[in-house]
Structure 1
Amino acid sequence: MRTSFAITNARLVDPATEYDGPGGVLVEDGRIAQTGESLDLSGAETVIDAGGKILAPALIDLRAAKEPALTSDGETQSSLAAGAAAGGFGTVVLAPNETSPLDVAGGFAGMVRSLSQHGVRVHSAAAATHRLQGEAMAEIGLMAKAGAVYVGQGDHTIEDSRTLRRVMSYASQFDLWLALRPEDAHLSRHAVTTESDWSARMGLPAEPAIAERMAVDRYASIAALSGGKLMIDRLSTRDGLDALRAARQRDIEVAATAAIAHLSLNEVDAGGLDSAVRMLPPLRLEEDRRALIDAVARGEIDAIVSDHRPTPFDDKGEPFAMAIAGTMALETLLASLLALVHDDELSLVEALRPVTCGPADLLGLPQGRLQENAPADLVLIDGDKPWVCDPDTFQSPRGNSAWAGRRFMGRAIQTFVDGQAIYNYNG
């Protein structure tokens, strides 16, 4: 059945064209029919007056965790999708992690289909190696045929360079990026914080920033050798950025992501040893955070990821050095980006580019932009809405948020996927 509605009187923000100005969109049968200030509303069944609120493409997240099983206090398919929709996301990619490696093809396509029944578009990455078989290459080809959108390795590197070359070469046959966290297998092992004066005083095992530079250099060399597509996953230091820039001077395909935590928090936030801010990579120095912000502004970071990890209460309740790494971020990522805009660290277009057209371009997705015939995946944002982060109000039953208690300005008011409203803010 033909359906049509319009959103007018909005602040239209389309990072793909760098447009930030007045306008609206007309949606017909789940796709964008018109954009701009002058819309033909004669056939619109409903007209929504945005009242000057921000209208942008729905957000895209390339890294969210999947629970390995549905436990009494765990994230479910419904709560993951609901949290994503409330955060303004229209597309989420599940990524391999320690407890859910995503390293076998059996049931892969069915898992993605079942998760996609909850409104948000859900894709999945494939693991590069089998978690329980050392560094044996996983069933990448079969998972690619089942719909994997990239290949990843979670929080761990591939230590054997020969295996890394084989994986990168094989993934490139399916035109898939290989996402690797930039860590040195020995300098980074057992680290729970970044190397600094503070970590030395606290006696905590620490990861030096140079470990990222060394890893990026190594990955780039193997990418040059194999002809593969390299994605530096969750870059977090100025040293790593320097290595990324050097890699881009070479004849290789290299992309980079950064986690929202490393753009909005630093090692000072971990000073109280609250396990909620224990994460991988660890929080870095303020100079690293500022370097990442500058890289986002320059367009050097292709995607900002939530690295959303709802962790069990028992695991997160351990002392800082023993607690499982990870924080929930789907429902706070947009507000964290808007905080950077309010603080004049980024423009709105710069902040939204790596969560809309940036990741869409990496994966070849049609959404993430406001153009005619693109999927009507949209988010309406009240950029000045004040609220306090309270994990008890989140869609997830878990509560491990590094931003708990933080005051924000701005949140998603409505989220649309294929022209269907999947979230409406009732506050």
Structure 2
Amino acid sequence: MRPQLLANAELIDPASGRRERGAVLIRDGAIADIAWGTASPAAPEGAETVDCAGHWLLPGLIDMRAFIGEPGAEHRETLRTASRAAAAGGVTTLLCMPNTNPPIDDPAIVDFVKRRARDTAIVNVHPAAALTKGIAGEEMTEIGLLSEAGALAFSDGVKSVRNARVMRRALTYARDFDALVMHHTEDADLVGDGVMNEGELSSRLGLMGIPREAETIVLERDLRLVRMTGGRYHAALITQPQSIELIERAKAEGLPVTCGASINHLVLNENDIGDYRSFFKLSPPLRHEDDRLALAEALDAGIIDVVVSDHNPQDVETKRLPFAEAADGAIGLETLLAGGLRLVNGGSVRLERLLHALTVRPAELLGLPAGRLTAGAPADLIIVDPDVAYILDRASLWSRCKNTPFEAARLEGRVLATYVAGQLVYQYASA
């Protein structure tokens, strides 16, 4: 590829917090030079110049939680379709969860996913390996071998490890390999037949509720095990103030603990379920508006480390059902940034905090060199028009499934172009 000069842009570096006009020179898949201010890097002869027209230029987003059907459920999503949805949403790196068929619990399957992503995906795709064999919660996987094969984290996806002894052992072995354990904190026994947040609204709708304690009981147990073992622990999704308090106390103790929140729980609440709209059925469930506000405050304060899409495609046969019978999950790769900008435009989260949680912090947790606007970093970049407003049409989405909770929603901020290793992989084309 010939060198490219992305000029006349508003540069935003989430790592340093710097934000001003400038230009970026790309060479050999990496950022070769950055000019802050009115000056421009000296472009080599033959370089292609791209006028960013004053729009934002920032590092591509890193999504730490995306469920992809391949292998085994390609009718829901493939690495190819997920990567195109990611590129359209400004996500240049995604971590795919191990809930596949077969599960990603063997080095050979890790290698398969990496090779398939290399051959079919247009963004960076890294596998997370299963924490227990078969995602059954009974016997931990070979963490060392899976790490050597290329797994960047360990998780049982949407399942919690019930057995405290197994969880303790997994955290101990993960510590020895400096591996990250990402856990879904939800007690399956307390969840039972619940389908939404337990409270007044669930009673009025006649739906079985899921108590907040289903989350905090598992989280508190896990944090005690972290104190015992010293393993790196990441609570995949927290949704309410009690969990925030537990995480804050653990960090104050110096424990190697981090946490994430989904864009759905940061932007939506249980009232959006309305007249039993199954696209809003999630795991964990959407909470009360007070819980949502507490999450946004915790994100702005830096207690919540990362924001994820929790991308989980479901087809018509499993989603277009009565609410209690519908499958959990919503797609989110294409609405991750636009949803986050709702928080910024609403004044509840600062832009620098949002971008830090979407780029720098996930890169740090996964040990990746991305997420920074600095010379030598990978040229995984996006150009964003933050001011454009539009109504989301699910027919325009790239994901194979269309179960978005933002259908017909008014959004602001559109990704105009996405570069991965300096190569243009997505460009918005208006109708």
TM class, shorter-length: over 0.9
Label 1:258 to 1:133 Cα distance change in 2 as closer, same or farther (>3 A). Answer: closer
What is the TM-score normalised by the length of structure 2? 0.95
In 1, Cα distance between equivalents of 2:255 and 2:389: 44
In 2, Cα distance between equivalents of 1:320 and 1:99: 26
What letter corresponds to residue 357 of structure 1 in structure 2?
Answer: V
Partner of 2:152: 149
Whether the aligned pair in 1 keeps the contact of 2:277 and 2:323 (CA below 8 Å) is yes
Shift of 1:213: 2.6
- Corresponding position: 1:24 with 2:23: yes
Label 1:230 to 1:71 Cα distance change in 2 as closer, same or farther (>3 A). Answer: closer
Shift of 1:71: 6.2
In 2, Cα distance between equivalents of 1:365 and 1:148: 12
Shift of 1:301: 1.5
What per-residue deviation string (whole Å, max 9, x for no partner) do you get for residues 352-407 of structure 1? 11111110011111010001101111000011122221221111231111111101
What letter corresponds to residue 137 of structure 1 in structure 2?
Answer: M
Shift of 1:216: 2.0
Partner of 1:116: 118
Partner of 2:256: 253
In 2, Cα distance between equivalents of 1:132 and 1:41: 53
In 2, Cα distance between equivalents of 1:18 and 1:64: 27
Whether the aligned pair in 1 keeps the contact of 2:270 and 2:286 (CA below 8 Å) is yes
Of 417, 422, 427 in structure 2, the residue corresponding to residue 424 of structure 1 is 427
In 2, Cα distance between equivalents of 1:154 and 1:71: 15
Whether the aligned pair in 2 keeps the contact of 1:6 and 1:41 (CA below 8 Å) is no
1:165-244 to structure 2, matched below 5 A, reads: 165-244=168-247
Partner of 1:41: 42
Whether the aligned pair in 2 keeps the contact of 1:66 and 1:100 (CA below 8 Å) is no
In 2, Cα distance between equivalents of 1:416 and 1:22: 19
Give 3-state SS (helix, strand or coil) of 1:403's partner.
Answer: coil
Name structure 1 gaps, 5 residues minimum. Answer: none
Q: Which moved more, 1:16-25 or 1:220-229?
A: 16-25
Q: Which moved more, 1:179-188 or 1:298-307?
A: 179-188
Partner of 2:325: 322
- How many residues are matched? 426
In 1, Cα distance between equivalents of 2:188 and 2:326: 20
Partner of 1:15: 14
1:258-297 to structure 2, matched below 5 A, reads: 258-297=261-300
Label 1:100 to 1:306 Cα distance change in 2 as closer, same or farther (>3 A). Answer: farther
Name structure 2 gaps, 5 residues minimum. Answer: none
Shift of 1:134: 4.9
Shift of 1:73: 4.3
Whether the aligned pair in 1 keeps the contact of 2:71 and 2:100 (CA below 8 Å) is no
In 2, Cα distance between equivalents of 1:353 and 1:281: 24
Partner of 1:305: 308
Give 3-state SS (helix, strand or coil) of 1:273's partner.
Answer: coil
What letter corresponds to residue 368 of structure 2 in structure 1?
Answer: L
* Pairwise CA RMSD: 1.7
- Corresponding position: 1:106 with 2:108: yes
Shift of 1:347: 2.3
Partner of 1:375: 378
In 2, Cα distance between equivalents of 1:245 and 1:204: 32
In 2, Cα distance between equivalents of 1:42 and 1:69: 43
What letter corresponds to residue 93 of structure 1 in structure 2?
Answer: L
Of 47, 62, 65 in structure 2, the residue corresponding to residue 63 of structure 1 is 65
What is the TM-score normalised by the length of structure 1? 0.95
Partner of 2:367: 364
Shift of 1:316: 0.7
Q: Identical aligned pairs, as a percentage? A: 36
Partner of 2:52: 50
What letter corresponds to residue 138 of structure 2 in structure 1?
Answer: E
What per-residue deviation string (whole Å, max 9, x for no partner) do you get for residues 216-242 of structure 1? 221110011111111011111111101
In 1, Cα distance between equivalents of 2:402 and 2:173: 39
Shift of 1:133: 4.9
Give 3-state SS (helix, strand or coil) of 1:248's partner.
Answer: helix
Whether the aligned pair in 1 keeps the contact of 2:195 and 2:208 (CA below 8 Å) is yes
In 1, Cα distance between equivalents of 2:102 and 2:393: 27
Shift of 1:186: 2.6
Partner of 1:92: 94
Label 1:185 to 1:70 Cα distance change in 2 as closer, same or farther (>3 A). Answer: closer
What per-residue deviation string (whole Å, max 9, x for no partner) do you get for residues 213-269 of structure 1? 322221110011111111011111111101111111224200111111001100011
What letter corresponds to residue 297 of structure 1 in structure 2?
Answer: D
Shift of 1:69: 4.6
Shift of 1:204: 1.9
Q: Which moved more, 1:108-117 or 1:352-361?
A: 108-117
Whether the aligned pair in 1 keeps the contact of 2:159 and 2:184 (CA below 8 Å) is yes
What letter corresponds to residue 93 of structure 2 in structure 1?
Answer: T
Shift of 1:189: 3.0
What letter corresponds to residue 53 of structure 2 in structure 1?
Answer: G
